[in-house]
Structure 1
Amino acid sequence: MPIKRNEFRMHQRIVQQTLLMLYFLLSYNGAQGDEKLSKLEEVELEKQLKLLNKPAVKTVKTKYGDIYDCVDFYKQRAFDHPLLKDHNFYPKMKPTLSRIKKNSNSSTVSSSSTIWSKDGGCPFGTVPVKRITKDNLIRQRRMPQPEDVTFDTQFDVSNNNSELKGRYISSQGYKIAIARTPNEPNNRFAGAGMATSVYNPHVKDGQHSGSRLKIQKGSDILQVGWRVDPTLYGDTKTRLFIHFQAGKTHCFNTLCPGFVQVDSEFPLDRSYQNMLSQRGGKTWDATMYIDRDLANGNWWLLMTRSFNQVGFWPQRIFTDLTSFATNVEWGGVAYSPPGVPKPPMGSSFFPIKNSSYDGYCSEITILNEKGKTIKVDETITHTDNPSMYQVFAEPIWHNSEWRYFVLYGGPGESPHV
């Protein structure tokens, strides 16, 4: 496999050089604020925008004002990845998944067409890609490093108790309130899923807050969820997000090569403006899965209860996730830069073990190595600071039955009144 390794190293060098170039282009003294870009900086930004914004077959708008380019499937950003140059992917490809999802019908029309304005969505053979602007690139210089949370297993030997305990080490600025599978290096998970309630916690000043499903092995990570993130998106709307980390390379949505979109209707950074939960009132949730293709190891993103097949991360871009995941977690994450108070999370209140009032992840599932669903009824919970955020994982009475929930949230350092 020497050729693949060389290509991978070349790809890492290209990514590092690009990030370095952007750093020098976009780094300013904070006091300079709105200082205009020099001509050289303008030219370099235009070059970057040309690389990112592929030619559009059609341009469409959502009802909420977002502009998407319908990009030819074969010209999407994913295929700029050196390891995907000689791919054999095509628009009609379908994964080999567990039996429950094999016959999933595409209800994309009913689940996502409601977000498009009267000109409709993208035609078959194209994929919707949110247009990148100069402001997007400038904001990205303020994006924090990815969350770096490690989990150490240790034994609690007090009172002759040999129970496994967990210790988390969170990177600066991030706070989590999550439940996760018991830590076991021999775990072999082929995916996981959840239905998560959708809220719009108030964030500002470089903060972000969201809910996510995260699977991991070693330094490779896959995430899907929703988040409110003005730095990433330029607004305070609640939006779908995906994120992958392969070694030292990491990326949201399709801002860099890696994720191959297949669905022509389902945008990766769609707004959930029409389905926000009201605490104590109507609750909306979004269903999402990450599922490993039984035939080739590609990791598929499935959305809605009909398992709409949105796209996939190809196995070949990973090192550790070329096989199975060892860890899965569900729950909330919040971030603020140094010196800025922590934002609210979930419903913005501490959970009271009532799904009508709490931020939650329900219908949580994990898949074994054969793609069969494993019932989750035991997890390890963790929150960094219980005075800001709390989390519970337990069965609660919901819709006339007992169901296992992860209930999380809190006011952060800005008490909700």
Structure 2
Amino acid sequence: MKKKMSVLFVAILLFLWSLIWTKYGDTYDCINLYERPFFNYHSLKNHTYDFPVRYTSNPKRIRGQKSSQLFNPSNFWLNGKGCPLGMVPIRRNTMADLKRAKLAIEIHNSKYKPLTIDKRGTHYAIVGTKNKNNVYHGGSASISIYNPKVKGTQYSSARIKVQNYPDSIEVGWTVNPTLYNDTRTRLYTFTKTAKSSCFDTLCNSLIPVRTDIPLGIPLESISTPEQQFDLQLMLFCNGNWFLKFGQDETVIGFWPKNVFTALGDSANYVEWGGEVFSPPGVPSPPMGSGYSERLEENTKYDAYCRQIKTINETDYVVNAVDTESFSDIVQYQVIDEGRVGADQHLVLFGGVGGYIGE
């Protein structure tokens, strides 16, 4: 009897040891990376990855202005540190969470279809590269952080996107209550391949590698006219696609190249800016700061992507050139300010919303 009790006690301890909580009430499982189904991919079998993942090379760049420090694990996790070494945090989802995530994916995927009278719910204010014959090994930017007000199934996001159709990766911040069951501004990724699409780690396309920085983290530093905060992000292809986060450009995850049909080696399109969604008949939500109906052309009031850059086929990080702007309705604007200063290419975007449709 004592032996059975001891075994049960050890099992309970091991179970609790594998669970960690955030100050926001989210529960995460600490998962052994090498037991994840990601490593069923043929090219990843028998491979070993350090924490964080090491590259064979890094993109070549001149350092510019750094973004604000936005994430401190000791203030995020109740245990002050995250998972033990060799394990990664994966958010625990209930059936209700998974149902909402499925709906969020369906809503997000609708934007890839042609806009029709029946499906005018997704709107953009973006700057993208023009020449689809160019080869890009990634893109980067520092994106100002806001908390636009949304309700119901609405969302409002600001992000970088790399694409080689039919594949694409988005990374940025979003306010998406359908996905996260709250209205906090959170770091997110969305991966679309020929076979699947999902947010964050809800499918096996993105492999997290940090013990302390999960996807979906709330971003508490929200910009105001008095003080601006921005989120520095980079997507970099070097055999696999890597996600780099924050002022220290910390690698927090990667996509194995063989999850993609066309994006495995490079992208032919890079995009920066804002995106919103609202169901038919509901006034569309604010984008970016939502400060005014027209952009002020002032980074104190307008949402921005600064230092927008592409990584070329020789792995050099360069200011984005040969770009074009697009916004589909007048309620959202985008201004490509071009090169501002020695190491800046600045894009302003946003709007108050309120569009209902025809």
The question of a shared fold, defined as TM-score above 0.5 by the shorter chain, is answered with yes
Contact 2:340 2:346 (C-alpha < 8 Å) held by counterparts: no
Task: Map 1:136-175 to 2 at 5 A.
Answer: 136-143=97-104, 144-149=107-112, 172-175=120-123
Match of 1:282 in 2: 227
Match of 2:207 in 1: 260
Task: Map 1:167-316 to 2 at 5 A.
Answer: 172-182=120-130, 184-272=131-219, 274-278=220-224, 280-293=225-238, 297-316=239-258
Contact 1:198 1:284 (C-alpha < 8 Å) held by counterparts: yes
1:367 is aligned to 2:311:
yes
Deviation sequence 1:348-393 (CA, Å, 0-9, x none): 134211111111111111001111012225420000101x111101
1:62 is aligned to 2:25:
no
Match of 1:127 in 2: 88
Separation in 1, partners of 2:260, 2:48: 17
The alignment covers a number of residue pairs equal to 328
Distance 1:266 1:375, change over 3 A: same
Distance 1:384 1:285, change over 3 A: same
The partner residue of 2:296 within 316, 340, 352 is: 352
Q: Which one-letter code corresponds to 2:160 in the other structure?
A: L
Q: Which one-letter code corresponds to 2:231 in the other structure?
A: A
Q: Using CA pairs below 8 Å that are at least 6 residues apart, which structure has the higher relative contact order?
A: 2
Q: Which one-letter code corresponds to 1:364 in the other structure?
A: I
Distance 1:76 1:275, change over 3 A: farther
Distance 1:141 1:250, change over 3 A: closer
Contact 2:140 2:308 (C-alpha < 8 Å) held by counterparts: yes
1:389 is aligned to 2:332:
yes
Aligned alpha-carbon RMSD (Å): 2.6
Runs of at least 4 residues off by over 6 Å: none
Q: TM-score with structure 2 length normalisation?
A: 0.84
1:341 is aligned to 2:304:
no
Contact 2:129 2:324 (C-alpha < 8 Å) held by counterparts: yes
1:78 is aligned to 2:38:
yes
Residue 140 of structure 1 and its aligned partner are, at CA, apart by: 3.1
Match of 1:410 in 2: 351
- Provide structure 2 residue ranges, at least 5 long, that are not aligned to the other structure: 1-14, 63-68
- Provide structure 1 residue ranges, at least 5 long, that are not aligned to the other structure: 1-54, 102-107, 151-167
Separation in 2, partners of 1:404, 1:327: 17
Contact 2:70 2:246 (C-alpha < 8 Å) held by counterparts: no
Residue 408 of structure 1 and its aligned partner are, at CA, apart by: 0.5
- Secondary structure in structure 1 of the residue aligned to 2:136: coil
Match of 2:8 in 1: none
Separation in 1, partners of 2:173, 2:127: 17
Separation in 2, partners of 1:395, 1:134: 46
Separation in 1, partners of 2:103, 2:262: 29
Contact 1:193 1:287 (C-alpha < 8 Å) held by counterparts: yes
Distance 1:306 1:172, change over 3 A: same
Match of 1:331 in 2: 273
Q: TM-score with structure 1 length normalisation?
A: 0.73
Deviation sequence 1:47-79 (CA, Å, 0-9, x none): xxxxxxxx7752222222222221111133534
Contact 2:309 2:345 (C-alpha < 8 Å) held by counterparts: no
Deviation sequence 1:59-106 (CA, Å, 0-9, x none): 222222222221111133534x655773524244412322459xxxxx
Bigger drift between 248-257 and 208-217 goes to 248-257
Q: Which one-letter code corresponds to 1:59 in the other structure?
A: L
Separation in 1, partners of 2:70, 2:142: 20
Contact 1:287 1:304 (C-alpha < 8 Å) held by counterparts: yes
Separation in 2, partners of 1:66, 1:257: 21
Residue 172 of structure 1 and its aligned partner are, at CA, apart by: 3.7
Separation in 1, partners of 2:344, 2:211: 34
- Secondary structure in structure 2 of the residue aligned to 1:88: coil
Contact 1:78 1:256 (C-alpha < 8 Å) held by counterparts: no
1:88 is aligned to 2:47:
yes
Contact 2:307 2:343 (C-alpha < 8 Å) held by counterparts: no
- Secondary structure in structure 1 of the residue aligned to 2:126: strand
